[in-house]
Amino acid sequence: MVKIAPSILSADFARLGEEIKEVEQGGADWIHVDVMDGHFVPNLTIGPLVVKAIRPHTNLTLDVHLMIENADFYIPEFAKSGADMITVHQEACVHLHRTIYHIKNQGVKAAVSLNPATPVSTLEHILEDIDMVLLMSVNPGFGGQKFIPEVVRKIKQLRELLVERGLEDKVEIQIDGGINAETAPLVVEAGATCLVAGNAIFGQQDRARAIREIRQACE
């Protein structure tokens, strides 16, 4: 069954603990935390302090998506604050292999994200070392953007590459950006195993229903 990871970027930050409880009770699998630095992406969000603050409010996997430069410097802080999985951007890491092992050495799962225009082939030599690939289906920086359909072809390519290497049960394929009950079935059919959704979940009054609708659309 596909995993659903609500992105707290679209939640009410004044009541983050309750928002997380609500999606947890509504059937969320992971909690997706978007970290932006105003350099790699044109927006600023949160740091390790907020990860630490939400950690006691949930037992779900905290999936921390770093859209930042100089990730190596911040990785230990996010790990100490309670991240279970840390995703870095291929485009922001000059020494990607070193950064992946830096994450793993903290006892945290490691993932790599690709912007919409970055080819899957750039991960060919790191696939064996990672737990997940995050394919962006919008240009990172903001919630509530429109899904870029070209990602479907990328998902299929990645899935084929994973099958070729016998890694299809080991490496998750996560899709992030513009996911809702209409777009979710397209990416799941192509091979996605984990869906991030911000606006489609926190933009709805009834979060449990929003999660259910995305799930049912994929069956």
40 is in an annotated binding site: no
176 is in an annotated binding site: yes
Say whether 63 is catalytic.
no
Residue 15 or residue 97: which is nearer to ligand DX5 going by CB? 15
> Which residues of the shown chain bind ligand DX5 in the complex (CB under 6 A)?
7, 9-10, 32, 34, 65, 138, 140-145, 176-179, 196-200
H helices present in the chain, as ranges: 16-25, 48-54, 71-81, 96-104, 151-165, 184-190, 199-202, 207-217
141 is in an annotated binding site: yes
- The bridge status of strand 61-67 relative to strand 30-36 is parallel
Shortest distance (Å) from residue 13 CB to ligand DX5: 13
Shortest distance (Å) from residue 165 CB to Zn ion: 25
Q: Does 176 help bind Zn ion (rule: CB under 5 A)?
A: yes
Distance CA 114, CA 91 (A): 7
Residue 199 touches which of ligand DX5, Zn ion, none (CB < 5 to 8 A by kind)? Answer: ligand DX5
Residue 47 or residue 141: which is nearer to ligand DX5 going by CB? 141
Asked if 53 and 31 count as a contact pair (C-beta separation under 8 A), the reply is no
Choose the catalytic residue: 29, 37, 63, 176: 176
Say whether 131 is catalytic.
no
Q: Count residues contacting Zn ion (CB under 5 A)?
A: 3
Q: Residue 117 contacts by C-beta under 8 Å, 6 or more apart in sequence?
A: none
Q: Does 65 help bind Zn ion (rule: CB under 5 A)?
A: yes
34 is in an annotated binding site: yes
Cβ count near 210 (within 10 Å)? 24
Q: Which of the stretches 20-28, 36-44, 171-179, 182-190 binds Zn ion when contact is defined by CB under 5 A?
A: 171-179
143 is in an annotated binding site: yes
Q: For residue 24, what are the CA distances in angstroms to 32, 178, 192, 201?
A: 12, 21, 21, 12
Cβ count near 174 (within 10 Å)? 26
Distance CA 85, CA 154 (A): 22
Catalytic residues, by residue number, are 34, 176
Residues contributing to the site for Zn ion (CB under 5 A): 34, 65, 176
